[in-house]
Amino acid sequence: MLKMDISKMRRLPEMNSGKSYELSETVRELGKTVTNLCESLENIFLRTQLAELIEHYYDIGKIKDIYEVFGGYVNRSFVFSVEKSGMTNFYFLRKYKKGISEDEIQFEHSLINHCIANGLSIGAGAIENKRGSSYVKPADSRNFFAVYEFLEGEDKFAWDNPVLNDRQYASAAEAFAVLHNSSRNFDPKGFQRHEVKAADLVPTFVSIFREYAEKELCCKLHSYFLEHIDDIVKVTEKNLIPEGDLKQFPLIPAHYDFHPGNLKWDGDQVVGIFDFDWSKIDVRLFDICMALIYFCTNWKDLKDGEFKPEQCAIFLNKYQNKLKSLNGLQPLSETELKNLHIMLAIANVYLIKWELAEFYSNPDSNVYEYLAYLKHNIRVMQWIEKHEDEINSMIESVVR
């Protein structure tokens, strides 16, 4: 019989299927435990970082609680409470995305404070820190941070699928008019958002869309985009504002992200406006049309992408009448209203490009989430193109 020296070997034991399944389940549970532990450690670090930042840079009290606010796509947001002199106060804190420039933040904060000083009573001012600045960037961080006044009110809606009643449309439009009126005579002092005006920006989208189409991706969103890229390009190239009309449009500090989810509500009344980080100097009509796309399009089932002309008319008429009563910034002019149909298409293409840019730039993007957004705005695009007469009829009902 042959003999083998096994003194320097390790025997691999046999294992039945029951035992191997038991071990695989143990490993799976250990994986969950490690994931939960990592999340807990990250949350502990984040809370410690924010608490130390607030107490070191700001003279507003000692931290009690910190809550992260979900729903944003660009920056991370938090609400925290502090105690000072026996009083508890709440504030809002923003952790800006990496890559935002300092002068963009200075533009945003200067604009907010200017608007508040000129009639916007429902804005949240940036809090000055111990160094006399409205933001901080710790030496050990690549992010800027800013603390704002806390806006009371309810977060009733998200930016997608908002369902408002007519009183809420009216209140939002009047708040928008007050915001625009309060931004008059704003001096950015050289600060600006690093993005050109929409009229110059949108024509560059065609080459960007072509680049996205050349990506070698196998997913439902990319397939859907390829099915519709020719129509998107056609709409982008077709809808151009005549140069002579564009020169007549008033330039304002546009909010650029005025939607129901960026408002605080008390019942049917708007009691707060926030998220000015997309703001930049641009034509007023673009800001109006972005808001109409957000507020006045359906998201539900077979109606997804359909415009709501009656609600659009409510919004525009309330906006016009509020500006008349304020006797400052002029209401929308005949030239602006004449081009509203074209600018609606431009604003919608801007949102399509944003959705695609966010998806293609982030490997972890949820395909189905961004596919829903893309489908919605492509359906909006199709509705606008097919219903020009209906839109123009609605515009005729708008007060001058």
Task: Return residue ranges of the chain for CATH 3.90.1200.10.
Answer: 166-396
pLDDT digits (tens, 9 = 90+) for 269-286: 999 999 999 999 999 999
Nearest CA among 355, 377, 352, 351 for reference residue 367: 355
Q: How many angstroms separate the most distant Cα atoms in the chain?
A: 109
Select from 380, 135, 41, 332 the least CA-distant residue to 235.
380
Instruction: Reduce the secondary structure of the chain to three states and give it as a string.
Output: CCCCCCCCCCCCCCCCHHHHHHHHHHHHHHHHHHHHHHHHHHHHHHHHHHHHHHHHHCCCCEEEEEEEECCCCCCEEEEEEEEECCEEEEEEEEECCCCCCHHHHHHHHHHHHHHHHCCCCCECCECCCCCCCCCECCCCCCCCEEEEECCCCECCCCCCCCCCCHHHHHHHHHHHHHHHHHCCCCCCCCCCCCCCCHHHHHHHHHHHHHHHHCCCCCCHHHHHHHHHHHHHHHHHHHCCCCHHHHCCCCEEEECCCCCHHHEEEECCEEEEECCCCCCEEEEHHHHHHHHHHHHCECCCHHHCCCECHHHHHHHHHHHHHHHHHHCCCCCCCHHHHHCHHHHHHHHHHHHHHHHHHHHHHCCCCCHHHHHHHHHHHHHHHHHHHHCHHHHHHHHHCCCC
Task: Select the more confidently predicted residue: 36 or 256.
Answer: 256
Q: What does the pLDDT look like over 173-185, one tens digit per residue?
A: 999 999 999 999 9
Q: Kindly tell me if the per-residue pLDDT of 396 is higher than 90.
A: yes
- Give burial (CB, 10 Å; 0-12/13-18/19+) of 74: middle
Q: Which one, of 240, 324, 252, lies nearest residue 287 by Cα?
A: 252
Give the pLDDT band of residue 2 (cuts 50, 70, 90). low
Residues of the chain with CATH 3.30.200.20: 46-149
pLDDT at residue 262 is higher than 70: yes
Q: Could you give the percent of the chain with pLDDT greater than 90?
A: 78
- What integer pLDDT is reported at residue 39 of this predicted model? 80
pLDDT of residue 168: 98
Tell me the per-residue pLDDT of 183-193, one tens digit each, with 9 for 90 and over: 999 999 888 88
Task: Output the pLDDT for position 1.
Answer: 61
Average pLDDT over residues 335-344: 97
Does the structure show a pLDDT above 80 at 72? no
pLDDT digits (tens, 9 = 90+) for 77-103: 999 999 999 999 999 999 999 889 999
Q: Return the pLDDT at 245.
A: 96
Tens of pLDDT, residues 145-176: 999 999 999 999 998 989 999 999 999 999 99
The correct CATH number of 166-396 out of 3.90.1200.10, 3.40.50.1820, 3.30.428.10, 3.30.70.270 is 3.90.1200.10
The CATH architecture one would assign to domain 46-149 is 2-Layer Sandwich (3.30)
With 0-12 / 13-18 / 19 or more C-beta atoms within 10 angstroms meaning exposed / middle / buried, residue 80 is buried
More confident: 144 or 36:
144
Q: Check whether 220 has a pLDDT greater than 70.
A: yes
Task: Name the residue with tokens 């005579």.
Answer: 185
